[in-house]
Chain A
Amino acid sequence: MGVGIKTFAGTPLTALLCDQLGIAMSYIEERVQTVFINYRAVDRLDAIIIQPSMIIALSAAMPGLAGATLRKGGMLAGFREGISHDPKSSTPVDGEEETIITLKLFNQVAEDLTPHLLEVGIWVQGRILQEALLHSELVAEIEEDSIQWNAKHLTIAQFKEILWPADWILLQVTSR
């Protein structure tokens, strides 16, 4: 499903990942070996310009012939020519249009980057966040009187009953 990242259309992908989200370029180059933009396999990250509502997926190197085929800039890239991302489709965007793109992290990359991204902050649609929180192990760990909702204290029971807005919500983990 992925999470939302608020950014500006026209931003280079590498700038989003490195400058805005604070991911080291060496990590992107070495660990992130499989990248998709709108379900299409990417060969050159530096050629990608953020478009409105783009879907970006990051993964480590994958096994098998298919895994090798999907790797960025790999020798077998020709095998999946029909589903490769065309850099020419990343057109320059006029002005600075704010957009929320979807970022999906898989496997080792998710394990490595999730804590950091939660600190930076991610955007999640309200109902989805509510569903995820109420079905996670976190609910059992919430202490009574620790919940504030729009500056009002809520009990756990009230928290579970409240209807969250459907719109995007910024989720940021500020301490552990």
Chain B
Amino acid sequence: MDKILRINMSGTKGPTIKTEPLGDYTGLGGRAMTSTIVAKEVSPTCHALSAENKLVISPGILSGTAAAMSGRISVGCKSPLTGGIKESNSGGQPSQMLARLGYAAIILEGKPGNDHLYKVVINKDGATIAPADELKMLGNYDVVEKMKAAHGEKIACISIGPAGEMKMGAASIAFTDMELRPTRHAGRGGVGAVMGAKGVKVIVVDDAGTQMRQGKNPEKFKEANKAFVAGLRQHPVTGKGMAAYGTNVLTNVINEAGGYPTRNFKTGQFEGAAKIGGEALAKLENERGGEGSATNGCHRGCVVRCSGTFYDKNGQYVTKQPEYETVWAHGGHCGIDDLDAIAQMDRLEDDFGLDTIEMGVTLGVAMDAGLAKFGDAKAAIKLIKEVGQGTPLGRILGSGAAVTGKVFGVERVPVVKGQAMPAYDPRAVKGIGVTYATSTMGADHTAGYAVTANVLGVGGTVNALKPEGQVELSRNLQVATAAVDATGMCIFVTFATLDIPEAFQALLDLMESCTGQPMTAEKFIDFGKRILKLEREFNIAAGFTKSHDRLPEYFKKESLTPHKVVFDVKDQELDQVFNF
């Protein structure tokens, strides 16, 4: 990956395309690339939908190589949802293909001076951009079908649905999977709205005629990859459990722990959890059968294969296997215990181009506002369709949970920095609450997934049982996650790297043998710290203060059943997370 594709949408004669060398951005990828470019080139005080904002799409450092699980791609910009810096990442095929074409980043900047909607095509001969007004207001599935008809079936697509065109705060960017379906999304933070503001409907990626990227030290790379895959296969989560049940395996367990936010975070247990959990979902998918039903990967090179395919009772394709957060947001959070209805909502949101966490949480808030009854799946589906149609009500809902709560006067709105909380109640698992509160991204469950200082053997050990241990752990997790997000590795590799030191060493060896730059645990952590500092500084310059690093007050006051716990981590402790 030795070049950047810069597309300026503001040109008086239409958009202009430039291919540039990496320059100051050499050695970066994924979140490191997107956050560095945004921090350096975007004014923190600009309007997120203005010409001054930039949308950066960057494959991970290891993408396009033979490294297992390296197909994640990062999308960065100033977020229209949070008002701060945003990195949202996705699986799917485009990361590997863009990397093989040699692009370390695509930057969309400026803003068209007309109403045209554009299509970008990238292949081994370069990139082109042309008006594509015939795609206006099409759903992601129709867009991909039209691209297949025009460019063949060996492409990958990066696209927005109507929600992105309408510049909604919950709008996502879709990335096609191995079956060329728009099922993988950079969902969080309204990145789809920024792509919509740039006037780009779809980016078609065709890597025909390219080859797999080779590491600087191919022999060491091969050995490291072998050790890395062995670590993944040996681990109880990545080796077997994830393939059998997918991420939705968490439903019953989080529910048992009393940490499953139910009916808009009112209680910690949902009586219908067993009907929508991973066990029930896998059983249903196995009974219905079909290609890739209960087990599938989201991109080539995945050895965990935590996904699947959801077919209806007649064997017709509906959507990919809904993930835990999606099932929760539309399930327990809305009091709905019907997997077919949840899958239908997932499909609609993928098609409209919406973040399933933001939209599901918004539906729960809307139910609290009396727009529908908890448990009423038909009403929930109707509300999602309003979003896709862009009705006045739909525009409000599509702006996310915070806006919906404000418009309808709801006090219980589970957001941090304007972004909806994922599927873990922070009163039950307070360490996750620390991460929700302090993450540069707003409430984000992937911000603190990774290896800790204890595992890495750097930065001293942490006593997690002391109150300050939670803050230290959250800090270490956020730092390490930022570094993993730069590699292009799926965040699920961290289960193996958390437990198996050899697997973590193999990840470092993969980085070193790929880039030719020495990589140690210390350097890896420093890398993560640099990314987080850049993001934090951007947010401060955008106007964020300590008061933004807080959970909504009701989490401190309303106790959660069955454990009767509140979020009681002190503000002074939260303020210590970024002391590094």
Whether A151 is near chain B, meaning CB under 8 Å from some CB there, is no
Please measure, in the bound complex, the distance between the C-alpha atom of A68 and the C-alpha atom of B477, giving whole angstroms. 12
Among B10-18, B379-387, B405-413, B425-433, which stretch is in contact with chain A?
B425-433
* Chain A residues, CB < 8 A from B252: 59, 106-107
Chain B: CB-nearest residue to A67? B250
CB-contacts of B436-477 with A (<8 A): 445, 448-449, 452, 454-455, 463-466, 469-470, 473, 477
Collect the chain B residues with CB atoms within 8 Å of residue A108's CB: 240-241, 244-245
Q: Is the CB of A62 within 8 A of B565?
A: no
- Residue of B with least CB distance to A70: B257
> Given the known A-B contacts A62-B250, A63-B247, A63-B495, are A77 and B465 also in contact in the complex, defined by CB atoms under 8 Å?
yes
Q: Which of B526-580 contact A (CB under 8 A)?
A: 562-563, 565
CB nearest neighbor in B for A30: B236
Q: Does B250 contact A75, Cβ atoms closer than 8 Å?
A: no
Q: Are B250 and A63 in contact (CB under 8 A)?
A: yes
Q: B250: which A residues are within 8 A, CB to CB? A: 62-64, 66-67
B464/A79 in contact, CB under 8 A: yes
Interface assignment of B256: CB less than 8 Å from any CB of chain A:
yes
Is there contact, CB below 8 Å, between B258 and A63? no
Residues of A within 8 A of B240 (CB): 108
Contacts of A40 in B (CB 8 A): 257, 563
A65 x B448 contact (CB < 8 A): yes
Question: A140 near B: Cβ within 8 Å?
Answer: no
With known contacts A65-B432, A82-B430, A107–B464 Cβ distance under 8 A = no
B470 A79 Cβ-Cβ under 8 A: yes
Q: Which chain A positions have C-beta within 8 A of B492?
A: 63
**B236 near A31: Cβ-Cβ < 8 Å:** yes
**In chain A between 49 and 104, which residues have their CB closer than 8 angstroms to a CB of chain B?**
57, 59-70, 75-83, 104
Do A107 and B477 have beta carbons less than 8 Å apart? no
Total residues of chain B contacting the partner, CB 8 A: 52
Within 8 A of A (CB), among B321-363: 324
Asked if B141 CB lies within 8 Å of chain A CBs, one says no
Is the C-beta of A123 less than 8 angstroms from some C-beta in chain B?
Answer: no
Asked if B242 CB lies within 8 Å of chain A CBs, one says yes
Contact check, B495 vs A106: say whether CB atoms are below 8 A apart.
Answer: no
B-chain residues with CB within 8 Å of residue A60 when the two chains form the complex = 236-237, 241
Residues of A within 8 A of B278 (CB): 107
> With an 8 A cutoff between CB atoms, is B424 at the interface?
yes
B253 pairs with A76, CB closer than 8 A: no
Interface check A138, CB cutoff 8 A: no
The answer, yes or no, to whether B279 is at the interface (CB within 8 Å) is: yes
Most chain B CB inside 10 Å of its own CB: which residue of A61, A68, A82: A82
Chain A residues positioned under 8 Å from B565 (CB to CB)? 82-83
Give chain A interface residues in 15-45, CB to chain B under 8 Å: 30-31, 33-34, 36, 39-41
Whether A77 pairs with B259 at a CB distance below 8 angstroms is no
Residues of B within 8 Å of A66, CB to CB, are 250, 254, 259, 424, 429, 432, 445
Shortest Cβ gap from B511 to chain A (Å): 23
* Residue numbers in A under 8 Å from B448 (CB-CB): 65
Please tell me which one of the listed residues B241, B435, B473 contacts residue A78 in the complex, with CB atoms under 8 A apart: B473
Count the A residues whose beta carbon is within 8 Å of the partner chain — how many?
36
Interface pair B241/A63, CB less than 8 Å apart: yes
* Contact assessment for A64 and B449 in the assembled complex, using a CB-CB cutoff below 8 Å: yes
Judged by a CB distance under 8 angstroms, whether B249 is at the interface is: yes
State whether A78 and B429 are in contact (beta carbons under 8 Å apart), knowing that A63-B241, A63-B495, A66-B254 are contacts in the complex.
no
CA gap between A104 and B274 in the complex, in Å: 11
B132 proximal to A (CB < 8 A): no
Contacts of B455 in A (CB 8 A): 75
Residues of chain A contacted by B463 (CB below 8 angstroms): 78
Nearest CB on B from A56, distance (A): 10
* Contact status A78-B257, CB under 8 Å: no
For residue A113, CB closer than 8 A to chain B, the reply is no
Docked complex Cα distance between A64 and B463 (Å): 21
Assembly CA distance A79 to B432 (angstroms): 7
Q: Is B427's CB under 8 angstroms from A82's CB?
A: yes
Q: Tell whether A133 is near chain B: CB-to-CB under 8 Å.
A: no
Q: Cβ of A31: which chain B residues have Cβ within 8 Å of it?
A: 236
Check A157 for interface membership: any CB of B closer than 8 A: no
Rounded to whole Å, the gap between the CB of A108 and the closest CB of chain B is: 6
**Is A67 within 8 A of B236, CB to CB?**
no
* Shortest Cβ gap from B577 to chain A (Å): 14
Asked whether any CB of chain B lies closer than 8 Å to the CB of A134, the reply is no
Asked if B498 lies at the interface with its beta carbon under 8 angstroms from chain A, I say yes
Q: Do A69 and B236 contact each other (CB < 8 Å), given the known contacts A39-B562, A78-B466, A78-B473?
A: no
A1 interface hit (Cβ, 8 Å) = yes
CB distance from A9 to the nearest CB of B (A): 22
Among B235, B237, B244, B428, which residue has its beta carbon within 8 angstroms of that of A82?
B428
Using A65-B448, A80-B431, A106-B256 as known contacts, list a sample of 6 further A-B pairs with CB atoms less than 8 Å apart, ordered by residue number in A: A57-B256, A62-B250, A63-B306, A65-B477, A66-B424, A70-B257
Complex A-B: 29 CB contacts under 8 Å: A36-B256, A39-B562, A39-B563, A40-B563, A59-B253, A60-B236, A60-B237, A61-B235, A62-B241, A63-B237, A63-B241, A63-B495, A65-B424, A65-B435, A67-B495, A68-B498, A70-B257, A75-B452, A76-B473, A78-B470, A79-B432, A79-B470, A81-B470, A83-B259, A83-B563, A83-B565, A107-B245, A107-B252, A108-B245
9 tightest A-B CB contacts, nearest first? A79-B431, A78-B464, A61-B236, A82-B565, A80-B429, A66-B424, A78-B469, A39-B258, A57-B256
